[in-house]
A and B are shown apart, each in its own frame.
Chain A
Amino acid sequence: EAGVAQSPRYKIIEKRQSVAFWCNPISGHATLYWYQQILGQGPKLLIQFQNNGVVDDSQLPKDRFSAERLKGVDSTLKIQPAKLEDSAVYLCASSSSLRRPQETQYFGPGTRLLVL
């Protein structure tokens, strides 16, 4: 079974530029998560999708971050414009179990973003 795929793996941009990340979850997984992991910290949930609907985006900085999951499969996370403090690893995860999604939450390798 293929894992969660993310691209690009690395991205370097200047502040005020825009950037987009892509995630392809495990086939058949209805729930998709985007996390932000700042160096030296644990992942922080940004947004959670159930199929193509948003379940939780309470920690998403909506003035600059946006995410979509068209057709309930792939997802993109965008930052526009980027700030220095956005430098982090952006992790995508997916799960299949609505009953215990945390048990079946599989993480991708992440996209490492550096904002200069």
Chain B
Amino acid sequence: GQQLNQSPQSMFIQEGEDVSMNCTSSSIFNTWLWYKQDPGEGPVLLIALYKAGELTSNGRLTAQFGITRKDSFLNISASIPSDVGIYFCAGSNAGGTSYGKLTFGQGTILTVHP
């Protein structure tokens, strides 16, 4: 089946630093999404991308849909302590009975030191 590889697996940064993480796939997706999961909670959608090459921002977060459709990137600028959590990428393909089915990466654990 489809697999997503996220890197890095974990990051330890100082408050105020910028963060970059990426996700690669062995196959093509037509939608890429980025989620954040806090301890004891379910994932929360941060950004959704629908077109190859698309660059989308949500506050201090910016994500890009790779041209090859096999990768995506998430950047967080000027990190703050509440950015701590696990960030997941997810891919989806439309059509048939798979509409809405998400394939998740293994996550990037972000720790921000004040």
Question: Chain A interface (Cβ within 8 Å of chain B)?
Answer: 4, 31, 33, 40-45, 48, 55-56, 91, 93, 95, 98, 100-103, 105-110
Cβ contact within 8 Å between B101 and A45: yes
Interface residues on B, range: 20 to 34
Contacts of A108 in B (CB 8 A): 42
Cβ contact within 8 Å between A102 and B33: yes
CA distance A33 to B104 in the complex (A): 14
Cβ contact within 8 Å between B41 and A109: yes
A98-B99, A102-B31, A102-B102 given as contacts; is B107 within 8 A of A109 (CB)? no
A91-B42, A102-B48, A109-B42 given as contacts; is B106 within 8 A of A48 (CB)? no
CA distance A4 to B44 in the complex (A): 12
B105: min CB distance to chain A, Å: 5
Of B13-21, B65-73, B77-85, B90-98, the segment with at least 4 beta carbons within 8 Å of chain A is B90-98
A9: min CB distance to chain B, Å: 8
B6: min CB distance to chain A, Å: 8
A55-B97, A107-B43 given as contacts; is B102 within 8 A of A45 (CB)? yes
User: Quick one: which of B40, B44, B97, B106 contacts A56, CB cutoff 8 A?
Assistant: B97
Contacts of A101 in B (CB 8 A): 99-100
User: Quick one: which of A48, A91, A103, A110 contacts B101, CB cutoff 8 A?
Assistant: A48
A4-B42, A107-B42, A107-B44 given as contacts; is B107 within 8 A of A41 (CB)? yes
Contacts of B45 in A (CB 8 A): 103, 105
Contacts of A40 in B (CB 8 A): 106-107
CA distance A58 to B102 in the complex (A): 13
Cβ contact within 8 Å between A105 and B44: no
Known pairs A42-B88, A42-B107, A55-B99. 12 more at Cβ < 8 A?
Answer: A42-B104, A43-B102, A48-B100, A56-B101, A100-B48, A102-B48, A102-B90, A102-B92, A103-B45, A105-B100, A107-B44, A110-B41
